[in-house]
Amino acid sequence: MSVNHTLFTVGPVEVRKEVLEAMTKPMITHRSKAFEQLQEGIVEKLHKALDTDMNILMSPASASGLLEGCVRSGVNRSMVGVSNGSFGDRWQGIGTENGKEVRKVNAPWGKAVRPSDLEGAIDDRTEAVTMVSNESSTGVLNPVADIVKGIREKHDPLIFVDGVTAVFGTDLRIKELDLDALVFGTQKALALPPGLAIMCCSDRLLEKAKTVPHRGYYFDLVQMKKMADKNYSLTTPPVSLMYALDFQLERMLKEGMSARYERHKEMAELVRNWARAHHGLFAEPGHLSDTITVINRGDIDFSKLNKGLKERGCEISNGYGDIKETTFRVGHMGDLTPAEVRGLLKNMDEVLEATR
């Protein structure tokens, strides 16, 4: 693969050379003053960049680890799982596989979840509701703020949000959301290698967790919080990745978060326009993702298209889940620029022309 190969994928995504280089600093042990300082700096920058004062918990895992941690630590028996795609389904599955009773609220793929979809689903037994912010299989950005507001009007369950492909690419206005968990990982809009799961966690979830038996060990939020208070990790953390995270957060704060979110919108609009000129978008208008565009394939041969793109030094992603064969996905998140996206789209046109 060429050194100039650029990923327009849905994760892992393109990681800049200088960010990768930040991982090559000398190793330190994770029970040292130097590590405490590293973690303290990261938490401070995460609070600043995301404009939240929620507890930050980190785990050496992919994001799914903490999705499971929320269920294991926050639910004794009963939860509601909201889904309009593969990743909503997956969180329902995590609940079921952990022995919880999961009431499913399923909205059609390609459509956003509406607050009204949850009517009648939540009752006094419901301990938590899980949902996905940016559904990566369909390219829908769900209106989480409206859904949360709708829930809180009548009920008071814990609310857990999968922010895996939203956080750092879309301004979720976390402070205004009244969430109990927002989970994400390093390999998406943070534009880092995979390996660290991160969550914003409410005090309320931590209090509830103390009453839930059999939370397991690795993703036990109560133990993670105890260690986080000392700027330690529960188990051995990916120190090199944390160097890169610290460096990346510094870069983001320098760019400015609103500039970052605007850049994502600009890139998304470029890709949407390309899709509109071809076979169209899978997701409904008004609820389009800023980080991933899911494009209807029509008569496009995706294998040929991506093969041609790879020969030109770039790469996009296949469709996912039930719509794997009828769509493909372009990731436009992290540190990519509108100029790079324009370059990709030009290459896509040229490859399609050449393979027609």
- In the complex, the smallest distance separating the C-beta of residue 91 from ligand PLP, rounded to whole angstroms, is 8
For residue 147, the number of C-alpha atoms closer than 13 Å in the C-beta half-sphere is: 27
Judge whether 181 and 74 are in contact, CB under 8 Å. yes
Q: Burial letters for 68-92: b for 16+ Cβ neighbours within 10 Å, e otherwise?
A: bbbbbbbbeebbbbbbbbbbbbbbb
User: How far is residue 138's CA from residue 283's CA, in Å, rounded to a whole number?
Assistant: 6
Per CB under 6 A, the list member of 81, 95, 139, 185 interacting with ligand PLP is 185
- In the complex, the smallest distance separating the C-beta of residue 238 from ligand PLP, rounded to whole angstroms, is 13
The size of the interface with ligand PLP (CB under 6 A), counted in residues, is 11
- In the complex, the smallest distance separating the C-beta of residue 235 from ligand PLP, rounded to whole angstroms, is 17
Contact positions with ligand PLP (CB under 6 A) in 289-348: none
Per CB under 6 A, the list member of 8, 35, 87, 247 interacting with ligand PLP is 87
Per CB under 6 A, the list member of 23, 63, 128, 189 interacting with ligand PLP is 63
- In the complex, the smallest distance separating the C-beta of residue 208 from ligand PLP, rounded to whole angstroms, is 23
Taking CB under 6 A as the rule, does residue 132 contact ligand PLP? yes
| 123 phi, psi to nearest 5 deg | -135, -170
Taking CB under 6 A as the rule, does residue 283 contact ligand PLP? no
Residues 6+ apart with CB under 8 A from 218: 59, 61, 65, 234, 235
Q: Is the CB of 65 or the CB of 313 nearer to ligand PLP?
A: 65
- In the complex, the smallest distance separating the C-beta of residue 33 from ligand PLP, rounded to whole angstroms, is 30
Q: Is the CB of 14 or the CB of 162 nearer to ligand PLP?
A: 162
Q: Is the CB of 67 or the CB of 348 nearer to ligand PLP?
A: 67
- In the complex, the smallest distance separating the C-beta of residue 93 from ligand PLP, rounded to whole angstroms, is 11
User: How far is residue 80's CA from residue 324's CA, in Å, rounded to a whole number?
Assistant: 26
Q: Burial letters for 188-224: b for 16+ Cβ neighbours within 10 Å, e otherwise?
A: bbbbbbbbbbbbbbbeebbebbeebeebeebbbbbbb
- In the complex, the smallest distance separating the C-beta of residue 119 from ligand PLP, rounded to whole angstroms, is 24
Select the span of 162-170, 249-257, 276-284, 326-334 touching ligand PLP (CB under 6 A).
162-170
Taking CB under 6 A as the rule, does residue 165 contact ligand PLP? yes
Binding site for ligand PLP (CB under 6 A): 11, 62-64, 87, 132, 136, 162, 164-165, 185
